[in-house]
Amino acid sequence: MLPEIHIIGLTGIPEIAEGAKLGDLISAEIKKQDLPLNERDILVVTQKVVSKAEGRIINLKEIEPSHMAIQLASEYKKDPRLVEVVLRESKRIVRMDRGVIISETHHGFICANAGVDSSNNTDIEKVSLLPKNPDVSANNIRQSIHMELGVEVGIIISDTFGRPWREGATNVAIGVSGINPLKDYRGQSDLVGYSLKTTTIAIGDELAAAAELVMAKLDRVPVAVIKGYHYNSGDTGINSLVRNPDRDLFR
């Protein structure tokens, strides 16, 4: 038997309002669509619906930009209120150049605009922020699905990040529950006394990337179900994918 993985996009989930129980809505839709969900299947859920459910939406009308935000916005021809939100969501500015702000979020993620997203909102004055604690968000969804459908699944919360050196963004994991997002092959290839290649694979990010292939238009397919992938259970959370500053050559 050849190894095989299936990735299924879950359509039909209604528009998410603040306070919505996302895990319950996903479970209901899985039942309604008769999608068989098995133990150790993986659900990848986009950040956007998680942020909506958790009320992580900011109305720019309520934002008073700081002096720094006004100055930057004028330089970059951006909305100063938006720049203010980006600064508030940032722990540290990594690069600020050519109209782009790359910063480190309070979670430790390094991405453009601290993950603040103005796209795909019906109201152009509203922007979405990353969930406060995406591992908790993932865990809540996992618990709901276990309650509603009786199966233990792995959950990944995903977002789309750019990266240095390569064009185009890719989906990455920003929260996990029930899965160890790193797979370690070290020792298997260490024939010359040291590894030339990194042999730890960020399977959390690869699963998120794979899910994006069925999500495409983000708002209409906010959940993907991945079947057939053998992962290690674990509750290390997303921190195991965030590189320690001491090990990072590109701070």
Within 94-133, the residues that bind its own copies by CB under 8 A are: 95, 97-98, 100, 102, 109-110, 112-113, 116-121, 124, 127
Q: Are residues 242 and 107 in contact, defined by beta-carbon separation less than 8 angstroms?
A: yes
Least distance from its own copies to the Cβ atom of residue 221, Å: 7
Interface residue with its own copies among 130, 171, 175, 177 (CB under 8 A) is 171
Q: What's the residue count for the chain?
A: 251
We find the least distance from the C-beta atom of residue 105 to its own copies, in angstroms, to be 11
Region class of 44: left (phi > 0), else alpha (psi between -120 and 50), else beta: beta
Restricting to residues 36-75, name those near its own copies by CB under 8 A: none
Helix crossing, 22-32 with 134-149: angle to 10°?
40
Stretch that binds its own copies, among 51-59, 135-143, 145-153, 203-211 (CB under 8 A): 203-211
| Candidate residues 22, 25, 130, 203; the one interacting with its own copies per rule CB under 8 A | 203
The H or E element that residue 29 is part of is helix 22-32
Going edge to edge, which strands form the sheet with 154-161? 154-161, 42-46, 223-227
Binding part of the chain for its own copies, among 15-23, 64-72, 146-154, 198-206 by CB under 8 A, reads 198-206
Nearer to its own copies, 59 or 143 (CB): 59
SS3 93: strand
Tokens of 158: 């995903």
Cα 57 from chain centre: 16
79 lines the binding site for its own copies (CB under 8 A):
yes
Tell me how far, at minimum, the Cβ of 230 lies from its own copies, in Å.
8
Does residue 149 touch its own copies according to CB under 8 A? Answer: no
What CA–CA distance (Å, rounded) separates 53 from 62? 20
Number of residues that bind its own copies (CB under 8 A): 85
Q: Does 243 bind its own copies (CB under 8 A)?
A: yes
How far does Cα 77 stand from its chain's mean position?
28
Closer by beta carbon to its own copies, 25 or else 229: 229
Q: Binding of its own copies at residue 202 (CB under 8 A)?
A: yes
Residue 91 makes contact with its own copies by CB under 8 A: no
241 token code pair: 């994918």
Q: Which of residues 150-169 bind its own copies (CB under 8 A)?
A: 160, 162-169
CA 183 to centroid of chain Cα atoms: 19
